[in-house]
Amino acid sequence: MIDPTLSLQAAIQQIHASAHKLVFEFAGAGSLALFQLHSVAGSSRTILEATDRYAATSLVDLLGQVPEQFVSRETATAMASQAYRRAMRLAEPGTACLGVACTAAIATDRARRGEDRCWIAVRDSTGVSSYGLVMIKGARDRLGEEQLVSQLLLHAIAAACGIDVTVPLETIAGEQVETAEDVIVAP
């Protein structure tokens, strides 16, 4: 059996070795992915900026409006588009930039309606790749759900960088990642 830590570390090393620079916006979960990116040498070649939009007002400030739903594909896409525009401003001209976003509702210590879920979006010059996951409520604790969301985030970043290393996703029976691709046509 392959040690998933080695696979994850190899993927992150290749992310850092790619020519991509990114801005990362996250709300509700994703901080572990940022930690993991920083825990492998070379993160200064990859990460331009990262912002935790934990307060609803912070996310509204980023988007310029209250989203119809905070944890949705549309919200993640809007966040990634804002992150992409920011990356383009921060990076040197001609740099391959990514806007990475995660919006999530994970296990908490209070009663919360709705599913434990996340939407991740990665925007580049050609479009947006989206990844959605509904987790089985109660199957993991908060840290377990944060770990799964972060695995999916790193998988999405690796895919956007064209990296052919598998980031292990520790889903369980009944959980499936939903994906979507939206092409952006330049004017």
Q: What is the pLDDT along the chain (187 residues), one digit of tens a residue?
A: 445 555 888 899 999 999 999 999 999 999 999 999 999 999 999 999 999 999 999 999 999 999 999 999 999 999 999 999 999 999 999 999 999 999 999 988 887 778 999 999 999 999 999 999 999 999 999 999 999 999 999 999 999 999 987 788 999 999 999 999 998 865 4
Determine the Cα–Cα distance for residues 21 and 90; give it in Å rounded to an integer.
Answer: 9
Q: Is 87 domain-assigned? A: yes
Burial code (b: 16+ CB inside 10 Å, e: under 16) for 28-44 equals: bbbbbbbebbeebeebe
Residue with tokens 């307060």: 55
Reading the block at residue 1, the tokens are 């059996």
Q: Is 133 domain-assigned? A: yes
Determine the Cα–Cα distance for residues 78 and 84; give it in Å rounded to an integer.
Answer: 10
Determine the Cα–Cα distance for residues 39 and 35; give it in Å rounded to an integer.
Answer: 6
CATH number, domain containing residue 151: 3.90.950.20
Q: Is 187 domain-assigned? A: no
In tens, the pLDDT along 84-127 reads 999 999 999 999 999 999 999 998 888 777 899 999 999 999 99
Non-local CB neighbours of 147 within 8 Å, separated by 6+ positions: 32, 140, 170
Helices (H), the chain: 4-17, 31-39, 56-63, 73-90, 142-160
Q: Is 165 domain-assigned? A: yes
Instruction: Using alpha carbons only, give the angle 159, 181, 115 rounded to the nearest 5 degrees.
Output: 90
Note the pTM of the prediction, 2 decimals. 0.93
CA dist list (Å): 176 to 15, 118, 146: 24, 12, 16
Residue 105 near residue 117 (C-beta atoms within 8 A): yes
Instruction: Using alpha carbons only, give the angle 43, 168, 52 rounded to the nearest 5 degrees.
Output: 45
User: Checking DSSP bridges between strand 20-27 and strand 47-52, what pairing results, if any?
Assistant: parallel
Domain that holds residue 162: 4-182
Determine the Cα–Cα distance for residues 118 and 179; give it in Å rounded to an integer.
Answer: 12
Q: Is 138 domain-assigned? A: yes
When divided into structural domains, the chain yields a total of: 1
